[in-house]
Amino acid sequence: MPIIIVIAVLSLLKMFDVAFVAGVSWWWVVGLAAVAFVWFEVVERLLGLDKRKAHNQSERARQARVKKNFEK
């Protein structure tokens, strides 16, 4: 997620020609976007990180339901 924030900030700084970013090529921004795309669409799936996140979320929801039922 931090790479998405960096891409957004770089894009805004580049659009408004702010300081050191004014001289940087748009290819750097596009390259970072491509790296982010590859990471989220390919690498996460290969490493199983997307399923791990989904499993952790469902596990937290299950634990919250169990805790809620035992409190009654």
CB within 8 Å of 26: residues ≥ 6 apart: 14
pTM for the structure as a whole? 0.62
Residue partners of 41: CB distance under 8 A and separation at least 6: none
Tokens of 2: 């931090």
Percent of the chain with pLDDT over 70: 97
Count how many domains the chain has.
Answer: 1
Domain that holds residue 8: 2-71
- Banded model confidence at residue 46, pLDDT cuts 50, 70, 90: confident
| Lowest-confidence segment of 4-13, 25-34, 39-48 by average pLDDT | 39-48
Is the pLDDT at 72 greater than 80? The verdict is no
Q: Would you say residue 33 has pLDDT above 90?
A: yes
